[in-house]
Structure 1
């Protein structure tokens, strides 16, 4: 048989899983190993035909995607016969894959070479691709040496699995392949390769045929209106304080949201929505009260950063990020997805004065994207139906939080929320295993706490990152437990474990007691103590404070099973004795006083502060200056000197600077 289909030989097992599903690949390998091997025939033009013993015939022509192959079986879509055709062809030509690289090196993948083939796509697909390009989208291009390239669009991910054919590119949108996102990714790779040959990682902004290349975010009436409305909202929150009735902020929030929507700035809209929900959570005394100080400071900083990126571009310099990517210009609010494999990362329960609920995080192993599923119910039902016992799509919430699922019809919203259709939403749910987590890619899964520190130091600040997914959730290995203890005063279980290699490989764990999940801390303590089935990995939310990383566990994985802490139904043992609490140094104490001062202003309002408050700010400024925090001290002095006409931008800058200092990652410059 003449070798005419090199693109089929390049498809790895992981690629076939992405192009079909794990079940088809597993069953196909089993049938081939048992002797059910189809007869292959290849025509002169390269068309392959597989004839099976049961009479089924599968045909795959050149320049056809795998799902476009014809098959006479009864399946309405993808089937195992298509997968068996590829696997049979690979076995028949074992060792025949093309290799045009130099000895000891692998050839660089070049998706831009398919630019001329885009003309073969339907006109409607090319038109939609141009419409996306006209929005000036930022696309994250990755082309690692010798590895398959990928393109991360704001709401879709494209992966290329064959050097020889564009038809085996995979998109996670509902189309799956040969869609407008694949076309846009090929265009972006071609243009980026011309500008920066040999790149491995690049943020590329598409070139619009309608939008001028120059010009900043505030050069339009919509952009300027958004900036002004955000400033008005920020001034109101700082001056009045969020302890005031929510009705006092409704009009300002509404104006700011409408202005952000009018400018089509998705990440600004998302931040405003989070901020409003956070104020409501504060008013309701919710257990999931978000960091409002960080949200408010980050909102102003996002707009400032976008303006600075535009200034650099207009001056002929290359900004770290296009300003359109910073504000999320043109990002769709929702995208339909193809069949999804999802691996659970954990669950957190919550409650306020009116409702109780849960949030479950999932990851797509193919893309590494993180999605979440949020539900809430009336608080009066909590005693009879705890959150982890509620049924979601016929499955118990605790099972979903500790399992792997397949979704047939899903949509992803811009904030990362997973929306499932009313019918055929989940087809299976199987228990989570350590191998499922090991298949998840970086940066979600890290080899240790030292590697996590390196990653956190290098990534951009939060005020310029997209808001489409949680970005402080990670999986880390556990190589041994050092010590644990229960802090009764703070109502927290503290522990320290070894995670990965390196000198500084100690990872602190910390979990607070919660009425929504009353037995989580007991289960965590028991898992840290047991030796017959030791811990191997843990997932959780990572935070940095005073130069130290701390992980709040969600799921603790042993060698045999996954334990969802918030789904623990009963007490399992006593809590350990308290650990000696390390005393912070004087510089950290000063930063803590600065944090308390800022939160006091945000909660109670600047206009209601008395003379003694400003005197305390003056004293704190002197102490901060003594420990080298000169910029913080200068801004605090302005509180004392300009009480009546203090610019709100000063408070936003003060809050952002404090957050950068307190939440710095170990080893990062101060």
Structure 2
């Protein structure tokens, strides 16, 4: 029977249908269609009707979203019949579907006039969010689905013919205030920057009163300086009670100003101090040093961006985006499909805990699910055996899940209420990690280096982005060595095509996951099912890309290292890693010196600080690090002076400049020497 062409249905790819429904419905529908079990179709007055052999009838009216279609099977939302209506219709109109799939750039901003027909309440909520000046990251590449990343929501437009098939990952799912904001942002950005493919856009222009408000936030900045000086002066080893009032006061001021990322940065500092005192296995001194230095740098960077905007210039990014102005604390999510990236376990003097990392394969966003328990229970119930949302942690960490009642907070934490249950948990398969369109999946070390070099400084990026977690390919293992002193296994392995793609895996022993290292050694040595991919957190240490592995994927299955339950290997004998070039050795020495100062306090070791700073400055200057040397030479005079703010700024500048120089060494150690 002749059917009027519905181009909006022909434009829906299998990936779009998975995002609008779920993978199970799509796979089952594809099998039915492949077997020739197509429904019959009729089209009357704009209502497309699919009649199935079992008597089920599904009707989709013109302008309706797929989940709004009426199906006699009784399902109130998505079902396999709704999905098969689209797949069967595409099969029926195969010629048109092929034509519709031709790659071209298109703009959701074309629906700007249609927004006025949406409910007034939705439009009002959108305007309230726009008035906060939220920042939207827009993607509009030819042949790809246009997407908009809001601070707490991701929007994708799967059909150029109907706005009904736009999907947001918030609880509304379709035609919500976030989709309205995305359409408005696309329209405004195209008018200002025709033909753009990737752009960060602020929904409302800078208002002079907002810029003035940031510029006048002297009290908040003064509190951050006071806190920073107290920690540098007395060290984080001092009793926490001595800095607790300053932390509380600074957090209260940041909350009152609506600066979400500043509030969370202060929370990071508080947690870092607690981890140091509780001897937590996941305390990383270098990471804490960088986070601490970025605390005041974030506010100063926002002020500089606001100043440029007030002068009519275009700043590198809106100041609101740097401080997180107006970011919600928590949002409810729609139907959520997540793929595990692995699990980490940690412990301190009082607790043990697990954190499971997930990615949404439709948007590329990363979330984590955390739980902790009293340390006394650890012997009888290891972390990987504990139950979360009704399932063992190891099953969640090695699986793919679907949830209908999740929430996500500003830090990217996934929240599931005790009464909520995950509707589906399936094993993690190699195909689940095939997401080349997202930065999460990198083809090798060289590509990852390039990606990291393009990143803005960490203290200007949102804190809900886990942008140090990646999936990388694994090839030939070059060297395995065990450092008994540091209780760390290091592996040099090829990742990507070419000899320059050498990745260093580094896994430290922890009582919270006693057999993780054994599991990694066994996987690297097996031949019948060799590792092909690894997920983990990447950092730059001594100018080398180092990945702390969370999960290993072979050709047959996934292995979550921290869920290993028994020893299986003898550790390799220790071998010495390649000697560091002089430049990297000096940068490492600088970091260790700064860590010691922050741990113990400057005023407990003034003479030694002055002597060490001068000695290191001379060595750095001889190697060409003149700016870093100059900053270090300023410290002795500042320590004996009264300008606390300048002392803090100089110390933080040393930390951040050292980090930047080490980032530059991502090229190769040889290039670092040449510079």
Q: TM tier, shorter chain?
A: over 0.9
Q: Is 1:212–2:207 an aligned residue pair?
A: yes
Aligned CA distance change for structure 1 residues 40 and 100 (closer, same or farther; 3 Å):
closer
Cα drift, residue 52 of structure 1: 2.2
Cα drift, residue 218 of structure 1: 4.9
* 8 Å Cα contact 1:61-1:69 kept in structure 2: yes
Cα drift, residue 296 of structure 1: 1.1
Deviates further, 55-64 or 161-170:
55-64
For residue 17 of structure 1, what is the aligned residue in structure 2?
18
Deviates further, 502-511 or 154-163:
502-511
CA deviation map 1:170-214 (0-9, x unaligned): 110011111110111000000000000000000000016xx7267
* 8 Å Cα contact 2:10-2:100 kept in structure 1: no
CA deviation map 1:324-373 (0-9, x unaligned): 01111101010100111111101111000001111110011001111001
Deviates further, 306-315 or 449-458:
306-315
Cα drift, residue 217 of structure 1: 6.8
For residue 80 of structure 1, what is the aligned residue in structure 2?
80
Q: 1:246 aligns with which of 227, 240, 244?
A: 240
Cα drift, residue 37 of structure 1: 2.4
Where 2:640 maps in the other structure, the secondary structure is coil
Structure-to-structure mapping, 1:84-483, within 5 angstroms: 84-97=84-97, 99=99, 106-207=103-204, 212=207, 215-216=210-211, 218-219=213-214, 223-290=217-284, 291-439=287-435, 441-483=437-479
Where 1:549 maps in the other structure, the secondary structure is strand
The separation in 2 between residues aligned to 1:215 and 1:54, in whole angstroms, is: 62
Structure-to-structure mapping, 1:606-621, within 5 angstroms: 606-621=602-617
Where 2:540 maps in the other structure, the secondary structure is strand
The separation in 1 between residues aligned to 2:608 and 2:34, in whole angstroms, is: 81
For residue 639 of structure 1, what is the aligned residue in structure 2?
635
The separation in 1 between residues aligned to 2:251 and 2:52, in whole angstroms, is: 59
CA deviation map 1:40-80 (0-9, x unaligned): 11124x32111223332211111111111112222122111
* 8 Å Cα contact 2:214-2:303 kept in structure 1: no
Aligned CA distance change for structure 1 residues 563 and 321 (closer, same or farther; 3 Å):
same
Aligned CA distance change for structure 1 residues 125 and 148 (closer, same or farther; 3 Å):
same
The separation in 2 between residues aligned to 1:612 and 1:452, in whole angstroms, is: 39
The separation in 2 between residues aligned to 1:264 and 1:625, in whole angstroms, is: 42
CA RMSD of aligned residues (A): 1.8
The separation in 1 between residues aligned to 2:536 and 2:567, in whole angstroms, is: 21
Cα drift, residue 402 of structure 1: 0.9
Where 1:486 maps in the other structure, the secondary structure is strand
Aligned CA distance change for structure 1 residues 333 and 307 (closer, same or farther; 3 Å):
same
For residue 527 of structure 2, what is the aligned residue in structure 1?
531
Where 1:569 maps in the other structure, the secondary structure is coil
Where 1:216 maps in the other structure, the secondary structure is helix
The separation in 2 between residues aligned to 1:145 and 1:33, in whole angstroms, is: 30
CA deviation map 1:218-253 (0-9, x unaligned): 5465x3332222122111111111111000011100
The separation in 2 between residues aligned to 1:6 and 1:581, in whole angstroms, is: 59
For residue 68 of structure 2, what is the aligned residue in structure 1?
68
The separation in 1 between residues aligned to 2:210 and 2:76, in whole angstroms, is: 50
* 8 Å Cα contact 2:390-2:421 kept in structure 1: no
CA deviation map 1:270-299 (0-9, x unaligned): 111011011111111111114221111111
* 8 Å Cα contact 1:410-1:425 kept in structure 2: no
Cα drift, residue 610 of structure 1: 3.6
* 8 Å Cα contact 2:215-2:303 kept in structure 1: no
* 8 Å Cα contact 2:398-2:558 kept in structure 1: yes
Cα drift, residue 84 of structure 1: 1.3
Cα drift, residue 86 of structure 1: 1.1
Cα drift, residue 98 of structure 1: 8.0
Judging by fraction of residues, say which structure has more helix.
Answer: 2
* TM-score, length basis structure 2: 0.95
Cα drift, residue 440 of structure 1: 6.2
* 8 Å Cα contact 1:519-1:568 kept in structure 2: yes
Cα drift, residue 607 of structure 1: 1.9
Cα drift, residue 404 of structure 1: 0.8
Cα drift, residue 304 of structure 1: 1.4
Aligned CA distance change for structure 1 residues 230 and 217 (closer, same or farther; 3 Å):
farther
Cα drift, residue 35 of structure 1: 4.0
Cα drift, residue 594 of structure 1: 1.5
Where 1:429 maps in the other structure, the secondary structure is strand
The separation in 1 between residues aligned to 2:347 and 2:112, in whole angstroms, is: 52
Where 1:332 maps in the other structure, the secondary structure is coil
Cα drift, residue 100 of structure 1: 8.6
The separation in 2 between residues aligned to 1:553 and 1:176, in whole angstroms, is: 34
Where 1:426 maps in the other structure, the secondary structure is coil
Q: Is 1:53–2:53 an aligned residue pair?
A: yes
Where 2:423 maps in the other structure, the secondary structure is strand
Aligned CA distance change for structure 1 residues 518 and 427 (closer, same or farther; 3 Å):
same
Deviates further, 492-501 or 534-543:
492-501
Unaligned runs of 5+ in 1: none
Cα drift, residue 435 of structure 1: 0.6
The separation in 1 between residues aligned to 2:662 and 2:540, in whole angstroms, is: 8
The separation in 2 between residues aligned to 1:566 and 1:116, in whole angstroms, is: 53
CA deviation map 1:508-551 (0-9, x unaligned): 11111111111111111111111111111011111112321011
Where 1:279 maps in the other structure, the secondary structure is helix
Unaligned runs of 5+ in 2: none
The separation in 2 between residues aligned to 1:220 and 1:611, in whole angstroms, is: 37
The separation in 1 between residues aligned to 2:249 and 2:548, in whole angstroms, is: 36
Cα drift, residue 140 of structure 1: 0.1
Cα drift, residue 503 of structure 1: 4.3
Aligned CA distance change for structure 1 residues 351 and 100 (closer, same or farther; 3 Å):
closer
* 8 Å Cα contact 2:220-2:253 kept in structure 1: yes
